[in-house]
């Protein structure tokens, strides 16, 4: 059992229980969870607390990625009495939650580190403990746990986009990040920036692509690192927006 794992849940329903607490956070896609008959569909930024020996079922809905933080029971000897008490209270009962935007950025950043160094157990424990502590504070503050969704923070949204730009970022993910419906998000975003969320995403991808091309990455590498569906899709956007192909752009800088 790794302290913290990044996995994809199977698209076939599975059921089990285990002798350790588990924190689950959805990083990408959608999943179904059922903890002792309490069923909920979880989207990006959602998660759940699964106490030890709690029977639960789960299923990935298409492509998905989740972070699992596993906590042995009883806790490891290195943990203090205060930490043990905090963990025990947090996992006193099963619960579903939704990360606030700041913690969604944190989860994305930590997941990137875990994927970069998957065999570093010290890093895995540190990432898991960081998220666990942050979520404990969020859940203890109902004002933070249930934001009103009436403020669109572009700076926080930018952080989330930058951390996830190599993936397929959907508009409903951005709306969910801001605790808004897709229509509300689209309307408020355009009011604040003057362009649509899709146009903004393309602008961000193009900006990162230019930076990476200048740094010497090949066009095919850049297309993948910037979340384009293909190199030809990146070339098409480059030509449309800048009037030049990625290869010619890179040659000019060299």
Q: Where are the domains of the chain?
A: 4-145, 154-253
Structurally, at CATH architecture level, domain 4-145 sits in Sandwich (2.60)
CATH architecture of 154-253: Orthogonal Bundle (1.10)
> Which residue(s) pair with 67 in the sheet?
6, 25
pLDDT value of residue 236:
92
b/e 42-63 (16+ beta carbons within 10 angstroms → b): bbbbbbbbbbeebebebbbeee
Q: Please, are residues 245 and 254 in contact by the beta-carbon 8 Å criterion?
A: no
N- to C-terminal Cα distance for the chain?
48
pLDDT of residue 47: 94
Using left for φ > 0, alpha for ψ between -120 and 50, and beta otherwise, residue 91 falls in alpha
- What is the CA 84 to chain-centroid distance, rounded? 27
Number of H helices, E strands in the chain: 11, 7
Judged by DSSP in three states, 190 sits in helix
Q: Looking at the whole model, is its pTM more than 0.85?
A: no
Q: Tens of pLDDT along the chain (254 residues)?
A: 678 899 999 999 899 888 889 999 999 899 999 998 889 999 999 999 999 888 899 999 998 999 999 987 765 545 667 777 777 888 888 989 999 888 999 999 999 899 889 889 899 989 988 998 899 888 876 433 334 445 678 888 998 898 888 888 888 888 888 888 888 888 889 988 999 999 999 999 999 999 999 999 999 999 999 989 899 999 999 999 999 999 999 988 87
Residues 6+ apart with CB under 8 A from 131: 23, 25, 67, 69, 103, 106, 107, 110
What is the number of residues in the chain? Answer: 254
CA dihedral 13, 16, 22, 25 (to 10 degrees): 0
Residue 46, pLDDT score: 94
- Residue 48 φ then ψ, to 5°: -150, 155
Dist. CA 82–CA 90, nearest whole Å: 12
């Amino acid at each position: 059992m790794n302290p913290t794992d990044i996995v994809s849940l199977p698209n076939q329903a599975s059921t089990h229980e285990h002798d350790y607490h588990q924190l689950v956070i959805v990083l990408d896609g959608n999943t179904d969870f059922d903890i002792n008959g309490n069923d909920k569909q979880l989207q990006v930024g959602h998660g759940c607390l699964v106490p030890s020996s709690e029977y639960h079922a789960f299923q990935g809905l298409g492509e998905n990625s989740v972070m699992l933080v596993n906590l042995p029971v009883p806790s490891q000897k290195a943990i203090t009495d205060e930490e043990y008490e905090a963990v025990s209270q947090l996992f006193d009962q099963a619960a579903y939650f939704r990360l606030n935007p700041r913690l969604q950025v944190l989860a994305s950043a930590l997941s990137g580190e875990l994927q970069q160094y998957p065999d570093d157990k010290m890093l895995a424990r540190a990432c898991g403990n960081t998220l666990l502590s942050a979520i404990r504070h969020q859940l203890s503050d109902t004002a933070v746990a249930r934001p009103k969704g009436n403020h669109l923070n572009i700076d926080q949204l930018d952080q989330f986009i930058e951390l996830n730009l190599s993936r397929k970022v959907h508009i409903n993910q951005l709306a969910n990040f801001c605790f808004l419906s897709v229509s509300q998000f689209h309307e408020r975003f355009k009011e604040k920036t003057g362009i649509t969320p899709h146009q903004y995403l393309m602008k961000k991808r193009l900006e990162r692509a230019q930076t990476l091309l200048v740094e010497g990455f090949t066009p095919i590498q850049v297309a993948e690192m910037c979340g384009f569906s293909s190199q030809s899709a990146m070339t098409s956007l480059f030509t449309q927006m800048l009037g030049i192909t990625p290869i010619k752009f890179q040659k000019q800088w060299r």
